[in-house]
Amino acid sequence: MVMSFECECGNRTAFFATGDRDENGREYIELEDDDRMTYMIGEDGLLFKCKFCGYVYRLDKL
Ligand SMILES: [Zn+2]
């Protein structure tokens, strides 16, 4: 497991390293269970949406 995420409602999922790398050696990660959580990359950052309660979290672009 690379990273775990838990919503306020208790819904929890994790990101796993896939073992695949891009041309810069960066490894891809994937959601463990996309029935629990989805993520989208928007122009203003990364959005995580909980599929249990519908709450959306936003991670700002640095
Ligand atoms: Zn939730």
- 58 C-alpha to ligand 1 centroid (Å): 13
pTM given for the model = 0.77
Number of structural domains the chain divides into: 1
| Rg of the Cα atoms in the chain | 13
pLDDT higher than 90, residue 9: yes
Domain that holds residue 50: 3-60
pLDDT higher than 80, residue 10: yes
User: Measured between alpha carbons, how far is 18 from 60 in angstroms, rounded to an integer?
Assistant: 24
pLDDT higher than 70, residue 56: yes
Residue written as token pair 């790398």: 21
- 25 C-alpha to ligand 1 centroid (Å): 33
- 49 C-alpha to ligand 1 centroid (Å): 8
Residue 62 has a pLDDT of 67
- 1 C-alpha to ligand 1 centroid (Å): 20
pLDDT higher than 90, residue 13: yes
